[in-house]
Structure 1
Amino acid sequence: MKINNKLVVFAFSALACLQMQSCDEEFLTTTPSGSIQIQDAIVDEASLEIATLGIYSGMQSATTFGADFFTHQALLSDNGYVSVNNSNRFTDVNDYTHAIVDGGTVAGIWNFLYGTLLDVNNVISFEGTVTDEDAVSGTPDNRFGEAHIARATILFQLVNWYARPAGSGIDPQLGVVLPTSVNIGGSLPRATVSDVYDQIILDLETAISLMSEEPGVTRLGPTAAKLLLSRVYLYLEDYPNARLYAEQVLNNGEGFSLMGQSDVVPYYASESSPETIFQIEFNSTDNPGSNDAFYATWSLAGTYKQNFATREFYDLMASTDVRKGLYLDNIPASYSDAVVGVDVRKFITPDRDMPHFRMSEAKLNQIEALYYINETLARTELNTWVSTNRDSAYNTNASGSGLLSEILKQRRIELAFEGHRYFDLNRNELDVQKDANCLNNCSLPFTDFRRVFPIPRSEMNTNTSGGFENNAQY
Structure 2
Amino acid sequence: MQNFKTMKYLKYITIIILIFSLQSCSDFLEQEPGTQTSIDELLQNKEGVLIALKGLYRDVEANVRGERFAVYSDLQGGNLKFTPTSSGNSAGQITSGVNIREVYSFEDTAETSNFVSFYSGNYSIINQANLLLEYTPKLSDATDSEKKQIIAEALTIRAYAHFLLSQVYCQNYSYTSDASHLGIVYNKESIKAGLKYPKRETLSVTYSLIIEDLKSAIDNYSDNPSMAGPTYSYFNRNNTKALLARVYLYKRDWTNAYETANDVITNSGFQLMSSENYIAQWAQPDLPVSEALLEFSIPKDAENTASTSMSNYFGYNSNTYAKYVASNDLVNLYENNDIRKQLFLTVNLQTLGNGLLTPRPYNFTRKFQDNAGYVAFRLSEMYLIRAEAALENNQSAIAMQDINTIRARANATLLTNTSNLKEEILLERRKELCFEGHLFFDLIRNHKDISRNDGCISTNCGMTYPSLKFVLPIPQSNINLNENLQQNESY
TM class, shorter-length: 0.7 to 0.9
Residue 101 of structure 2 corresponds to which residue in structure 1? Answer: 92
Counterpart position of 1:5 = none
| 1:33-52 mapped onto 2 (5 Å cutoff) | 37-52=38-53
Q: Give per-residue Cα distances to partners, 1:147-166, cap 9 Å, x unaligned.
A: 11111111110011001111
Counterpart for residue 328 of structure 1? 345
Q: What corresponds to 1:240 in structure 2?
A: 255
Indicate the residue corresponding to 1:352 in structure 2.
372
Give the match's secondary structure for 1:332. strand
SS at match of 1:251: helix
Q: What residue is the counterpart of 2:27 in the other structure?
A: 22
Is 2:432 the partner of 1:422?
no
- Choose the corresponding residue for 2:477, options 458, 466, 469: 458
How far apart, in 2, do the equivalents of 1:23 and 1:288 lie?
22
Partners of 1:414 and 1:39 in 2: CA distance: 46
Q: Is the 8 A contact 1:17 1:118 kept in 2?
A: no
Q: Which amino acid aligns with 2:219?
A: S
Q: What CA distance in whole angstroms lies between the structure 1 residues aligned with 2:176 and 2:405?
A: 35
Q: CA deviation at 1:67?
A: 4.7
* 1:29 matched residue in structure 2: none
Structure 1: stretches of 5+ with no match in the other structure: 1-8, 27-31
Instruction: Output the TM-score relative to the length of structure 2.
Output: 0.82
| 2:297 is the counterpart of 1:281 | yes
Alpha-carbon separation, structure 1, partners of 2:322 and 2:406: 34
2:218 aligned partner, one-letter code: I
Unpaired segments ≥5 residues, structure 2:
1-10, 31-35, 84-92, 226-230
Alignment of 1:128-143 (within 5 A): 128-131=137-140, 133=142, 139-143=146-150
Please say if 1:318 is aligned against 2:324: no
Query: Separation in 2 of the partners of 1:469 and 1:206?
Result: 29
User: Where do residues 70-89 of structure 1 align in structure 2 (5 Å cutoff)?
Assistant: 70-83=70-83, 84-86=93-95, 88-89=97-98
Aligned to 1:109, which of 118, 121, 126? 118
Percent of pairs with identical residues: 25
Per residue, is there more helix in 1 or in 2?
2
Shift of 1:303: 5.4
Matched, 1:296 2:312: yes
Aligned length: 446
Q: Is the 8 A contact 1:82 1:91 kept in 2?
A: no
Matching residue of 1:145: 152
Q: Taking structure 1 as reference, are residues 123 and 21 closer, same or farther at Cα in structure 2, changes over 3 Å only?
A: same
Give the superposition deviation at 1:18: 6.6
Q: Secondary structure at the match of 1:330?
A: strand
2-structure distance, mates of 1:335, 1:22: 43
1:66: Cα distance to partner?
4.6
- 1:198 is aligned to 2:208: yes
Q: Are 1:305 and 2:305 matched, yes or no? A: no
Q: CA deviation at 1:23?
A: 5.8
The structure showing larger relative contact order (alpha-carbon pairs under 8 Å, at least 6 residues apart) is 1
1:176 is aligned, of 184, 189, 196, to 184
Are residue 386 (structure 1) and residue 407 (structure 2) matched? yes
CA contact (8 A) 1:201 1:229 kept: yes
Paired with 2:207 and 2:15, the residues of 1 have a C-alpha distance of 22
- Residues in 1 aligned to 2:100 and 2:299: alpha-carbon distance in whole angstroms: 29
Instruction: Check 1:23–1:132 CA distance in 2 against 1; reply closer, same or farther (3 A cut).
Output: closer
The two structures, once aligned, show a CA RMSD in angstroms of 3.2
Indicate the SS of the match to 2:198.
Answer: strand
1:263-289: CA deviation from partner (whole Å, max 9, x where unpaired): 222222251544111111125428997
The structure-2 alpha-carbon separation of the partners of 1:88 and 1:66, relative to structure 1 and needing over 3 Å to count, comes to: closer
> For the pair shown, which has the larger CA radius of gyration, 1 or 2?
2
Partner of 1:225: 240
Mapped partners of 1:300, 1:274: distance in 2: 23
1:311–1:218: structure 2 CA closer, same or farther, 3 Å change rule?
Answer: same
CA distance in 2, matches of 1:324, 1:427: 27
Q: TM-score, normalised by structure 1?
A: 0.85
CA contact (8 A) 1:23 1:115 kept: no
- Report deviation, 1:59: 1.0
